Structure 1
Amino acid sequence: MFLVNGLEPTKKDLLKLFEGRELLAGRTPFTTAISIDGKVPFWGHHLERLKNSFNFLFKDQDFKELEKKLNLCLKKINESSGTQYLRFTMIENKKSVQLIFQMRELEKNNLTELSLKSIFHPGRVSSLPRNLKYGNYLEAIEEVKKAKEEGFDDCLLLDDEGRACESTIANIFFRKGNRIFTPSLKSPVLDGVTRKVILEILDELGVECEELTPNRAEWENMDEVFLTNSTRGPVNVSKIDTREFESGSDIFRKIRAAYDVRLNSK
């Protein structure tokens, strides 16, 4: 399903999207989510991201107008069944903000572990809000393509000091013993929705979590690594470069179980 402003687009609607430079330049803030039998887990977090992104980029616009368009999309989602992939993208056009909505069946992915290739990457621009997702992924796409040719699933992005920040599509967590670490938002990382949820779960479980952006020596010394994003939830990392890690620890299984409960109850 592809909608513009919550409605089936006409040819004129589609042409309007290209009238400015926004779409071509990647000035297209968005959020990705899933729906399960018509309900969007953690919708409050996704709505917060959209609102914060809107207020940062489109200061002269009224978010209430966008909410009307979002509500039309939510009605379509409510009519769906199964697990769907969702993407909400905003584009400013002639002093108004257009909403592009995409919904398709989420492809089944049986991967329980992922492997990462570490690369130096400039990361997110420091002047932009940490929860802002935007459309320019060209460099990341090309790096992942190279990594897959070498047998990896994704890339671990290192800052200019060689510290681990995130993957191209997910936040990252590390475990050492009974302690969990995740890169600080002061680093060039996304303040991801699932990252927020996992931090809430860790707090409920009484598991200590410290913000740390580890250098190579530090992350190679970790026992376990896992990634988090909205389409997969928490997934173990089997190895980074040649360093192999444990998978499926008791702590990870508790995190995954608590996440699945939330996923199916909100």
Structure 2
Amino acid sequence: MAPLRVQAAHYVRDLPEVKHVGLFGALWHRRNAQLEGFDDCVFVDAEAYLSEGATWNIGFYDGQQVIWPNAEVLPGVTMRLLQQVHDASALGPVNIADLPRMEAAFATNTAIGVRAITAINEVEFPGEHPVLRTLRKEYEEIPTEAL
């Protein structure tokens, strides 16, 4: 799957921790980002702390560990599974000002697994990084459960 280029959008979803069909605001911000030449958007609050994408969670690699924003988000299945299997994971604040020190950024959800993010606004990240290969492998090796 092709990497994403995303634009930061000042937005916090209504009841972000609850999965619901109220996606108008999220999709409106996605469309605005697309009109600006980006693939999607990532939400930031009034102090520029990142939370999540329109329909995906976001994670970062700082060279030591995977950092998941500790903002109010819909805790996606893929994100929760990766937090369980990837030992070097932590919740923490991630501000727009922190992005230049991150080695990699990625999006997760059940439809895309782990997808590289190559840009957030003007900050660029590699399309491939060893941590992304590791996360994909760990995700694929999670045993399935029979229904």
Could you tell me the TM-score, scaled by structure 2's length? Answer: 0.90
Correspondence for 1:183: 69
Larger Rg: 1
Hey, what's the Cα distance between the residues in 2 that align with 1:182 and 1:219? Answer: 13
SS in 1 for 2:142: helix
Displacement, 1:215? 1.2
Which of 82, 85, 93 matches 1:201?
85
Displacement, 1:238? 0.6
Displacement, 1:213? 2.2
Correspondence for 2:112: 232
Aligned partner of 1:123: which letter? R
- 1:93-172 to structure 2, matched below 5 A, reads 111-125=1-15, 130=17, 132-172=18-58
Displacement, 1:140? 1.3
Question: Which structure exhibits the higher relative contact order, with contacts defined as CA atoms closer than 8 Å and separated by 6 or more residues?
Answer: 2
> For residues 146 and 174 of structure 1, do their structure 2 counterparts lie closer, same or farther at Cα, with a shift above 3 Å needed?
same
5+ long unaligned stretches in structure 2: none
Displacement, 1:261? 2.6
Cα deviation digits, residues 140-165 of structure 1 (max 9, x gap): 11111111122211101001211010
Task: State the number of aligned residues.
Answer: 145
- Does the aligned pair in 2 maintain the 1:122–1:160 contact within 8 Å? no
SS in 2 for 1:262: coil
Name the Cα RMSD after superposition. 1.6
5+ long unaligned stretches in structure 1: 1-110
Percentage identity across paired residues of the two chains: 26
Cα deviation digits, residues 41-95 of structure 1 (max 9, x gap): xxxxxxxxxxxxxxxxxxxxxxxxxxxxxxxxxxxxxxxxxxxxxxxxxxxxxxx
Hey, what's the Cα distance between the residues in 1 that align with 2:3 and 2:23? Answer: 23
Q: Which has the higher helix share?
A: 1
Aligned partner of 2:46: which letter? D
- Does the aligned pair in 1 maintain the 2:13–2:25 contact within 8 Å? no
Displacement, 1:220? 3.1
- 1:1-266 to structure 2, matched below 5 A, reads 111-125=1-15, 130=17, 132-184=18-70, 187-203=71-87, 208-262=88-142, 265-266=144-145
Hey, what's the Cα distance between the residues in 2 that align with 1:213 and 1:169? Answer: 20
Hey, what's the Cα distance between the residues in 2 that align with 1:256 and 1:241? Answer: 25
